[in-house]
Amino acid sequence: MKNETALVIFSGGQDSTTCLFWALERFEKVIALTFDYGQRHALEITVAKNICEKLSVEHHVLDMSLLAQLSPNALTHHFINVESNNDDLPSTFVPARNLLFMSFAGAFAYSVKARHIILGVSETDFSGYPDCRDSFIKSMNLTMNLAMDKNFEVHTPLMWLDKSQVWQLADELKKLEFIKNETLTCYEGVIASGCGKCPSCELRNSGLEKYFKKLEEL
């Protein structure tokens, strides 16, 4: 795959940055695509841009602000608290987000002649989001191929990894410290280890602790 172009759906967070490094090892040309959908913290876009500049990766930002108009959620509306609901999807679920992201990413990949599309979704640690499931990704891959008469290949390197295994992959790529210090995963907009209290930080930090404990036991 070294002689092909890959498009990474890139948020500047732990998962997508791990996928970016994964792609850089495998493809001749890598392009990063970030979506501006009115997310809770515009800093996310700045972080994505800064990471791409540091890695000399071509970076594009697409306006997807229409997402914020479709359904109230905690990622696009500050007046909604970030919280989980045992009887329903978390308040951070953005309906149709990955459906739209993958559709637009496919159109963008078509325009830049990138056959490979990479995103950092996981069915193992996915907060209950239905659009992170492997079945959904595979169905979108087929739909994009039919819609554009192309042979896109969608890669999800993290699909069957829990968060500690994502940290392990980052370490195997020799990028753990970069990802630990340069990425933004926190729902409160705090770079690196984050606020330590929101669901995203708890997942990220507990995964890192679990991975470090595993290393100590070896």
The residue among 12 and 90 whose pLDDT is bigger is: 12
| Domain count for the chain | 1
Q: Poorest-confidence range of 75-84, 114-123, 137-146, 150-159?
A: 75-84
Quote the CA–CA distance of 96 and 56 in Å, as a whole number. Answer: 31
Please write the tens of the pLDDT for every residue from 170-179.
Answer: 999 999 999 9
User: In the predicted model, what is the mean pLDDT of residues 174-186?
Assistant: 97
**Domain at 81, CATH number:** 3.40.50.620
pLDDT at 76 over 50: no
Q: What residue numbers bound the domain in which 145 lies?
A: 5-217
Which strands sit side by side in the sheet containing 58-63, from one edge to the other? 58-63, 29-36, 5-9, 116-118, 153-155
pTM of the predicted model over 0.85: yes
List of E strands, the chain: 5-9, 29-36, 58-63, 116-118, 153-155
Quote the CA–CA distance of 47 and 69 in Å, as a whole number. Answer: 24
User: In the predicted model, what is the mean pLDDT of residues 24-49?
Assistant: 91
Residue 4: DSSP 8-state: S
Compute φ and ψ for 58, nearest 5 degrees: -60, 130
Please write the tens of the pLDDT for every residue from 86-127.
Answer: 446 555 556 778 898 999 999 999 999 999 999 999 998 656
